[in-house]
Amino acid sequence: MSSLPSIGRKTALRLVLHLLKQPREQVERFGTSFITLRNEVKKCRVCRNISDGDTCHVCANPRRDHSTICVVESVVDVMAIEGTGQYGGVYHVLGGVISPIDGVGPSDLAFDELVERVAAGGVKEVVVALSTTMEGETTAYYLYKKLCSHHVMLSALARGVGFGDELEYTDELTLGRSIKNRTPFENIFGSKQ
């Protein structure tokens, strides 16, 4: 268990000792739930969020604003933004950020799928909600260059999220205000060329 994120040796030991005290049936149900999770959860065919069907609950919801797409790095960021209750559009999960030092280039991420969604029509705004790290900013600029020729408004989170901060660790109030006060990309990267 210590191979799980944020679980050290002592916490892993406490969890194992706790499981050993539980009835065999309860531990077996617990183990089966992990196998079911791994086998049945998949990526949404539209946005790449996690889902137990072909389409996630956000994309399938007709009350969501499908003309606004919020681009995020990971599913954790979708959960963080959803937790604010401030966003009513849909998402696009890139699956990471451009990071040459880690061997992650544009072809490793879901840029083409996003461009296809925008090119299909009906999208009025793309909100780029990436972490304000160097890699996040590089990815945001790449997105800006890929989408600036399309007739769609590009915006970014307001800078209540500090440079170098990870979205998943940002408090809900700050993240919610950043979503509400997003800014057009032209104000960040200059005018379209």
Please state the pTM of the whole predicted model: 0.73
Average pLDDT over residues 31-53: 88
Among 87-91, 96-100, 183-187, 188-192, whose mean pLDDT is lowest? Answer: 188-192
> Residue 33: its pLDDT value, please?
85
Q: Taking each helix axis from N to C terminus, what angle separates 134-147 and 111-119, rounded to the nearest 10 degrees? A: 30
pLDDT band at residue 1, thresholds of 50, 70 and 90? low
Q: Which of the four pLDDT bands, split at 50, 70 and 90, describes residue 161?
A: low
Mean pLDDT in residue range 72-87: 94
Q: Quote the pLDDT of residue 18.
A: 87
How many angstroms separate the CA atoms of 46 and 32, rounded? 29
Domain parsing of the chain, residue ranges:
9-40, 64-189
Bridge partner list, 128: 71, 156
Side-chain half-sphere exposure of 116, counting CA atoms within 13 A: 8
**Predicted confidence band of residue 142 (pLDDT cuts 50, 70, 90):** very high
| Closest by Cα among 90, 84, 85, 94 to 59 | 90
**CA–CA separation, 21 and 52 (whole Å):** 32
Pick the CATH number of 64-189 from 3.30.365.10, 3.40.50.2000, 3.40.1360.10, 1.10.390.10: 3.40.1360.10
Question: Looking at residue 111, what is its pLDDT?
Answer: 95
DSSP letters for the chain: -TTSTT--HHHHHHHHHHHHHS-HHHHHHHHHHHHHHHHH-EE-TTT--EESSSS-TTTT-TTSEEEEEEEESSHHHHHHHHHHT---EEEEE-SS--BGGGTB-GGGTTHHHHHHHHHTS---EEEE---SSHHHHHHHHHHHHHHTTSSSEEEE--TTSPTT--GGGS-HHHHHHHHHT-EETHHHH-S--
Higher-scoring residue by pLDDT: 137, 60: 60
